[in-house]
Structure 1
Amino acid sequence: MIPRYARPEMTAIWEPESRYGVWLEIETLAMEAMAELGTIPKSAAAEYRAKGKFDVARIDEIEREVKHDVIAFLTSVAEHVGPESRFAHQGMTSSDVLDTCLAVQLARASDLLITGCERVMAALKKRAVEFKMTPTIGRSHGIHAEPTTFGLKLAGHYAEFARNLARLKAARAEIATCAISGAVGTFAQIDPRVEAYVAAKLGLTVEPVSTQVIPRDRHAAFFAALGVVAAGVERLATEIRHLQRTEVLEAEEYFEPGQKGSSAMPHKRNPVLTENLCGLARLVRSAVIPAMENVALWHERDISHSSVERGIGPDATIHLDFALHRLAGVIEKLVVYPENMARNLALLGGLHNSQRVMLALTQAGVTREDAYRLVQRNAMAVWQSPPPRADTALIDKLRADKDITAKLDAKTLEACFDDAHHFARVDEIFARVFN
């Protein structure tokens, strides 16, 4: 993670002060639960709550000697608490603290990601409604296909982010899991009620069967969900980049006053924000495979997952959080050019209505194969004619084709070129997307 692609709200979750603060709360809650159960003195738990504090620099100093972060942390806290600290960490193992803390951090990160996703959805909905009936050409394989509306394009991305929102909520629920079960998960030295107490206080559920750790399939599912969300970010960013190409220019990122696009070319207005989003999406997705590979730990636990999670936990959540808010800002300020959409829609002289003509021929009794052939030979003649093409290029060709006019009268043929037909179901689709 670098500050350039980080928001302070998300970064704060991963700062050492925050992490050690969660560790301290876990240890304190565990002591309070043990005190209620009568396994340690209540005065010890109260003392730990009152005096428990830590010093990050001191923890680092101790860790350089003992080579163990949790021991270094407990030693630092003990220096503040005094003799009663001997009752801390009773029957617990380091992973009880580490895994439960990671669950808290990922749950908190999820809350911010959910907020970011909701902001993207709000921006998409507003702009989709704004351009609900704005005609534009739909493209398949990058080539003109049939008309759609710009609002429908955005509505499709809204629907995808609604699914992404559900994925983030499900991922949060799966990862928000507590394990305080001892060295190999048997509760041999600690009462399961301690785990239940800590989980409830931290807003977590208990892991049904832990080993020394929470099973990593949960983490794999979490990071996989982040990867899917990142893919959605990139899909929308890529669409905007294509629409901003000079030859297309149907939409573009807002260009700030005083902004410069190139050190060499003063005229440049580049889609730098959406290009950046595509790069950030790749970084987020890079966490998915390592998270999957963390699932197969040795026996009750090995430490091979630890170095991976120390990296991908902060990096993936910080980058995705930043990306979601950057994407929302792009959509909120997106500059849209309906006049260029109309220009591009007319570029091929009505070829986008070729299917309408073919279907009309089949309704008139022509086989589909013959109808396709008849329309295609005229469409290819228009396609290969040099631009600029008249808006009526295809229908003019068809009117001159006796095989066509033998089957379709003038009124039927003209009806095939009424673009309003393509937008007849827009209201219905919007109702499905936005309820």
Structure 2
Amino acid sequence: MIPRYSRPEMAGLWTDEAKYASWVRVEVLACEAQARLGTISEADLAAIRAGRVPTPEEVREQERTRDHEILAFLAAYTASLPDDAARWVHYGMTSYDLVDTALGHTLAASSDLLLAAAQRLLRALTERAVEHWDTVCVARTHGIHAEPTTFGQKMAGFAFAVHRSIVRLRAARAAVAVGTISGPVGTYGSVDPFVETYVCEALGLGVEPVPTQVVARDRHAELLGAVAVLGAVVEQIGLEMRLLQRTEVREVEEPRSSAYQGSSAMPHKRNPTTSERLCGLARVLRANLGAALEDVALWHERDLAHSSVERVVLPDSLIAAHYQVTSAAELIEGLRVFPDRMRANLEQTDGLIYSSTVMLHLMAAGSEREKAYRTVQDAATETWETGRHLRETLRERGIDTGDDVYDPTRFLRSRDAMRQRLEELLHVEM
């Protein structure tokens, strides 16, 4: 992922330097296990532990004469080791014993960072939901004013969506946090299963229960699936913030630095650029999921078709998602909310948003439902055309429901159950 959409703590996990350090750690742990089995002497193990992590430049130099990254890495790593010790590095292992076990560790660490960002977003949403639980605004369906709701209820709905994504991501984290050190075609023909157990336990990983020569790729697809759904949830939040920042709506405004400039040509512009960016990155995450699903089916015990794809979609998805979710948390934390503007927009349709309560009032007074519906619909049509308040239109027709029907808080009297659910979520997750 390009630096513009990267946060250093996540991007740092996916550098070549970090990869080769992880590979060295796996190789050293495997040698420790072999030493416990009596295969490697303590003197050779000490020399292996003292080896340094090769630089990306050193690996690339070795790859010029090998055309194989793992063999190039091993050559660069063992170059500084005594020959007697170097021969035990990668003993009995195949390339993806190293690659997939290290990858499982990196994916687990990346998932932990993304989970922390998602929990920050969840916390921000729940806090704003509580803050604005009674901030009345208009709800819109099909983009059209519907009935009153509150801004807090909007935020609470998003909070629960993020929570569901966290549950999915935790499950996916468990799925990818596995390794395998089982030798060629996964039979343990050249390496004792103890080596796998030792290495994976040291790295905090599970093991692939029946390996082939690689970790099963449905695991990685599950992770990118959870990431893509989380990205879509963040997109939903970003889209709502974009719509609420339109000039004719302006119920919220995303935080801006003192350096903000919205347009190169129009100095007055205050564009919802952060919200738009959240939506755009979700498209990348969805596209990458498709590529990950293509990687699940491999020829026989393994092929290499997945490797080139994963070098792109795994780091790009996790780095972009971490950036997206962290940016969303910052947006919600710093979001400016305009209750007065919300109230003004609420009354913009001259009482039409109260049509359902008027209809229910007429039905309670004895009117048949269809007749009540048509009566209110006809009055609403006239209000659309004249701009006269629905209450006055109905009074001219001899219908006076009283002012209580036009009180927006009338719609909000039964929300205690939702508030209780939100508080339970706060208690569980915070």
Q: State the TM bucket, normalised to the shorter chain.
A: over 0.9
Deviation at 1:148, TM superposition (A): 0.3
Counterpart in the other structure of 2:293: 292
Deviation at 1:360, TM superposition (A): 2.5
3-state SS of 2:190 partner:
coil
In the alignment, the residues of structure 2 paired with residue 165 and residue 55 of structure 1 have an alpha-carbon distance, to the nearest angstrom, of: 36
Letter in 1 for 2:28: T
Counterpart in the other structure of 2:120: 119
Deviation at 1:365, TM superposition (A): 3.3
Counterpart in the other structure of 1:315: 316
In the alignment, the residues of structure 2 paired with residue 27 and residue 215 of structure 1 have an alpha-carbon distance, to the nearest angstrom, of: 21
Counterpart in the other structure of 1:397: 393
The answer to whether the 8 A contact 2:355-2:380 is kept is yes
Deviation at 1:378, TM superposition (A): 0.9
3-state SS of 2:386 partner:
coil
Counterpart in the other structure of 1:278: 279
The answer to whether the 8 A contact 1:128-1:155 is kept is yes
In the alignment, the residues of structure 2 paired with residue 157 and residue 301 of structure 1 have an alpha-carbon distance, to the nearest angstrom, of: 41
In the alignment, the residues of structure 1 paired with residue 244 and residue 21 of structure 2 have an alpha-carbon distance, to the nearest angstrom, of: 47
Counterpart in the other structure of 1:376: 377
The answer to whether the 8 A contact 2:126-2:422 is kept is no
In the alignment, the residues of structure 1 paired with residue 332 and residue 162 of structure 2 have an alpha-carbon distance, to the nearest angstrom, of: 13
The answer to whether the 8 A contact 1:226-1:316 is kept is yes
Deviation at 1:80, TM superposition (A): 1.0
Deviation at 1:418, TM superposition (A): 2.4
Structure 1 residues 200-279: aligned runs within 5 Å:
200-279=201-280
Counterpart in the other structure of 2:153: 152
The answer to whether the 8 A contact 1:180-1:194 is kept is yes
The answer to whether the 8 A contact 1:227-1:285 is kept is yes
**Which range is displaced more, 21-30 or 359-368?**
359-368
CA deviation profile, 1:282-325 (whole Å, cap 9, x unmatched): 11222100000100111111101000100011111111111111
Deviation at 1:121, TM superposition (A): 1.4
Letter in 2 for 1:44: D
Q: Does 1:79 align with 2:79?
A: yes
Deviation at 1:354, TM superposition (A): 1.1
Letter in 2 for 1:245: R
Quote the RMSD (CA, aligned, Å): 1.4
Q: Does 1:163 align with 2:160?
A: no
Are the structure 2 counterparts of residues 258 and 57 from structure 1 closer, same or farther at C-alpha, using a change threshold of 3 Å? Answer: closer
Deviation at 1:155, TM superposition (A): 0.9
Q: Does 1:11 align with 2:50?
A: no
CA deviation profile, 1:100-158 (whole Å, cap 9, x unmatched): 11111111111110111111112112221221101000000000001000111111111
In the alignment, the residues of structure 2 paired with residue 155 and residue 53 of structure 1 have an alpha-carbon distance, to the nearest angstrom, of: 48
In the alignment, the residues of structure 1 paired with residue 232 and residue 53 of structure 2 have an alpha-carbon distance, to the nearest angstrom, of: 42
Deviation at 1:413, TM superposition (A): 4.5
CA deviation profile, 1:223-275 (whole Å, cap 9, x unmatched): 00000010011110110110010000001112333422111111111111111
Runs (4+) of structure 1 exceeding 6 A deviation are none
3-state SS of 1:254 partner:
coil
Letter in 2 for 1:7: R
Counterpart in the other structure of 1:47: 47
Counterpart in the other structure of 1:62: 62
In the alignment, the residues of structure 2 paired with residue 222 and residue 280 of structure 1 have an alpha-carbon distance, to the nearest angstrom, of: 17
3-state SS of 2:279 partner:
helix
Q: Does 1:426 align with 2:427?
A: no
In the alignment, the residues of structure 1 paired with residue 93 and residue 226 of structure 2 have an alpha-carbon distance, to the nearest angstrom, of: 31
3-state SS of 2:184 partner:
coil
% identical equivalent positions: 46
**Which range is displaced more, 249-258 or 164-173?**
249-258
TM value normalised by structure 1: 0.94
In the alignment, the residues of structure 1 paired with residue 55 and residue 237 of structure 2 have an alpha-carbon distance, to the nearest angstrom, of: 45
In the alignment, the residues of structure 2 paired with residue 137 and residue 413 of structure 1 have an alpha-carbon distance, to the nearest angstrom, of: 21
Q: Does 1:417 align with 2:406?
A: yes
Letter in 2 for 1:296: A
Q: Which runs of 5+ in 2 are unaligned?
A: 425-430
Letter in 1 for 2:189: A
In the alignment, the residues of structure 1 paired with residue 380 and residue 57 of structure 2 have an alpha-carbon distance, to the nearest angstrom, of: 74
The answer to whether the 8 A contact 1:54-1:80 is kept is no
In the alignment, the residues of structure 1 paired with residue 32 and residue 259 of structure 2 have an alpha-carbon distance, to the nearest angstrom, of: 58
Aligned residues: 423
Q: Which runs of 5+ in 1 are unaligned?
A: none
3-state SS of 2:340 partner:
helix
Deviation at 1:401, TM superposition (A): 2.5
The answer to whether the 8 A contact 1:255-1:269 is kept is no
Counterpart in the other structure of 1:332: 333
CA deviation profile, 1:186-238 (whole Å, cap 9, x unmatched): 11111111111111000000111111111111000000000001001111011
CA deviation profile, 1:25-65 (whole Å, cap 9, x unmatched): 11111111111112333332222112343232111011121
**Which range is displaced more, 364-373 or 299-308?**
364-373
